[in-house]
Amino acid sequence: MDIPYLSGGERCEVPQGFLDALRERFGARCSSAQAVRDHHGRDESPYPPMPPDAVVYAETTEEVAWVARLCNEHRVPLIPYGAGSSIEGHLLAIRGGISLDLSGMNRVIAVNAEDLTVTVQAGVTRKQLNEEIRDTGLFFPIDPGADASLGGMAATRASGTNAVRYGTMRENVMNLKVVTADGRIIQTANRARKSSAGYDLTRIFVGSEGTLGIITEVTVRLYPQPEAISAAICNFPSLDSAVNSVIEIIQMGIPVARVEFLDSAAVRATNAYSKLSLRESPLLLFEFHGSPAAVKEQAVAVQDITREHGGMDFDWAERPEDRSRLWTARHNAYFAGLQLRPGSRASTTDVCVPISRLAECVSATAHELDQASFPYMIVGHVGDGNFHVLMLLDPDSREQWEESERLNRRLAQRAIDMDGTCTGEHGIGLHKKEFMLAEHGQDALDLMHALKHAFDPHNILNPGKMLP
């Protein structure tokens, strides 16, 4: 398999004394067992594992700082590891070094319900967080599908189904505790809702994919649980009619909480996997949040728009258990898709374009994929102009891999040409480094390199990722 960057750069030589020092400090929480290393050298990307030399399980920020100082001194790569749910190769130890597992840092530190904020350790996952704050009447809306850790979500600037209403990690992270490359501990901000005091360190680390510092605590905004929630499904005669409905809904400023697109293949897969009986045509899955009156008002407005675009009757899911079943099915679309071709290897894309170009971008992409030699499905957080393609490849076919990479490249370039981005929410990792130049231009990339060098002069933090 021809994977760009995977073999790029030298694998670092870890000195024996270095591992001894780690073992002495961490005991059983430092492991170089093959199974542990393999587990930490892979993620949900299509790449084969590239194991680190050792895995350290950190329990405190001070421990993280200790490891960073040691790695910095010995120039050993250091890769933070949360839930392992990256799909772009962020976690692969392409230059060896240490995988720093933060999943044990899973404590909710402070719920400030009166300020609608919560501070958690980086290893807390979004489902755990919502469980722990359930009694406060508040919730954390960012929902990338996977039960990712908050640290990982911050590091990849994650978003997901609720972003159209509540924003992404960019808008919802208020403050981070970060360990720098040389092992210092900083707070990027405070808990004020806004500030003009200095450079926006928070936003520098949000989306930095572990390359500028190691996030150990995250303070995020919470929102009151909506008084009323309703969900609905609407089928469409064509992909275009569905997407054009969304464009009009957004342009009207209707504050839908979620609007998800599934193409026919995704619906078919979801029906099979989640034992549903949705009509197998392109569909939109809506959720409305607000007061009972507001929810009704939004739903009526959306229904009017979809009807004009040929949308078939709304199918309501009012009961929490029905809603939950629908959204679970949506979240399982990835696994459902894999079943479209049992035994296949999935390659996933993720682009985002201005909403006015969305129909054109999705259509052109579907048209190309219809000629491909493998099955695919398209799902999308279309309210943001963001969609994904899941391509289901024969794992033994080099030709299919190359074909999928070619299509992925064409899609990324199409999105960039439409004044969009090669990744709306998955991040760059390894798989998208080749698009950074086309998206940003050399001069902007030079600034990114300057920033990286300023924050991590010895290039120990997740080296070889993001920047070409």
The residue count for binding a copy of itself (CB under 8 A) is 92
- Nearest distance from residue 315's CB to a copy of itself, in Å? 25
Please tell me the total number of residues recorded for the chain in this structure: 468
357 Cβ contact list (under 8 Å, min separation 6): 385, 418, 419, 420
Residue type, 103: S
Among 102, 239, 391, 428, binds a copy of itself (CB under 8 A): 428
- Nearest distance from residue 438's CB to a copy of itself, in Å? 10
Binding positions for a copy of itself, 273-302, rule CB under 8 A: 291, 293-294, 297
Among 426, 431, 463, 464, binds a copy of itself (CB under 8 A): 426
Cβ closest to a copy of itself, residue 30 vs residue 378: 378
Residue 354 binds a copy of itself, judged by CB under 8 A = yes
Contact, 143 vs 161, CB < 8 A? yes
Cα dihedral 78, 140, 427, 165 in deg (nearest 10)? -160
Among 208, 274, 344, 347, binds a copy of itself (CB under 8 A): 208
Among 422, 430, 460, 461, binds a copy of itself (CB under 8 A): 422
Among 28, 35, 135, 193, binds a copy of itself (CB under 8 A): 193
Give Cα 380 to chain centroid, integer Å: 13
Among 11, 23, 29, 203, binds a copy of itself (CB under 8 A): 203
Residue 420 binds a copy of itself, judged by CB under 8 A = yes
Cα dihedral 250, 256, 262, 264 in deg (nearest 10)? -80
- Nearest distance from residue 420's CB to a copy of itself, in Å? 4
Among 39, 75, 107, 191, binds a copy of itself (CB under 8 A): 191
Among 19, 21, 109, 201, binds a copy of itself (CB under 8 A): 201
325 burial (CB, 10 Å; 0-12 / 13-18 / 19+) is middle
The token pair that represents 358 in the structure block:
């969305």
| Stretch near a copy of itself under the rule CB under 8 A, chosen from 101-109, 195-203, 304-312, 364-372 | 195-203
Cβ closest to a copy of itself, residue 370 vs residue 443: 443
Q: How many other β-carbons are positioned within 10 Å of the β-carbon of residue 135?
A: 9
114 burial (CB, 10 Å; 0-12 / 13-18 / 19+) is exposed
Binding positions for a copy of itself, 32-71, rule CB under 8 A: none
Contact, 296 vs 316, CB < 8 A? no
- Separation of alpha carbons 56 and 263, rounded Å: 42
Cβ closest to a copy of itself, residue 4 vs residue 441: 441
Q: Where are the beta strands (DSSP E) in 75-130?
A: 78-81, 98-101, 108-112, 117-121
Binding positions for a copy of itself, 86-145, rule CB under 8 A: 112-117
| Stretch near a copy of itself under the rule CB under 8 A, chosen from 68-76, 125-133, 269-277, 412-420 | 412-420
- Nearest distance from residue 357's CB to a copy of itself, in Å? 8
- Nearest distance from residue 203's CB to a copy of itself, in Å? 3
Among 9, 104, 167, 375, binds a copy of itself (CB under 8 A): 167
Among 19, 185, 228, 372, binds a copy of itself (CB under 8 A): 185
| Stretch near a copy of itself under the rule CB under 8 A, chosen from 4-12, 43-51, 318-326, 379-387 | 379-387
- Nearest distance from residue 96's CB to a copy of itself, in Å? 24
What distance separates the 2 farthest-apart alpha carbons in the chain? Answer: 70
In the chain, helix, strand, coil percent, each to 5? 40, 20, 40
Quote the DSSP letter at residue 125. B
CA geometry: angle at 273 spanning 423 and 134, to 5°? 70
Look up tokens 């609905």; give the residue: 232
Residue 466 binds a copy of itself, judged by CB under 8 A = yes
Q: How many other β-carbons are positioned within 10 Å of the β-carbon of residue 441?
A: 10
* Residue 23: strand, helix, or coil: helix
